[in-house]
Amino acid sequence: MLDVCIEGPNKGILIIYDRWDSDNQKFAIIHVENMQVMFMNKRTGLYLTILHDSDKNGAIIGELPLQNIRSQKFRLQ
């Protein structure tokens, strides 16, 4: 289950964790354009963002306020 870590050294970073139905595991999927979406975390109101605008495998995904930037837009396949 996708989970935004809420404490410790990974706070604010997207992790994979067991399901426990907390709001930090719930996301609103917001349609943007051209089959792109943004994910807003229900607990924090922040948006999943590929940190440092990386396009490399293993990039870290965290959350930031809405900036409507490329690294906050995802394509579902």
Mean pLDDT, all residues of the chain:
94
> Residue 25 corresponds to which amino acid?
Q
Q: Which residue in 12, 46, 55 sits closest to 71, CA to CA? A: 55
Q: Average pLDDT in the 9-34 region?
A: 93
Domains and CATH numbers, the chain: 2-75 (2.80.10.50)
What Å distances lie between residue 35 and 7, 27, 30, 74, CA to CA? Answer: 33, 17, 11, 8
Q: What is the pLDDT of residues 31-61, one digit of tens each?
A: 998 899 999 999 999 999 999 999 999 999 9
- In this prediction, residue 77 carries a pLDDT of 84
- In this prediction, residue 29 carries a pLDDT of 96
Is the predicted pLDDT of residue 23 greater than 90, yes or no? Answer: yes
Is the predicted pLDDT of residue 76 greater than 90, yes or no? Answer: no
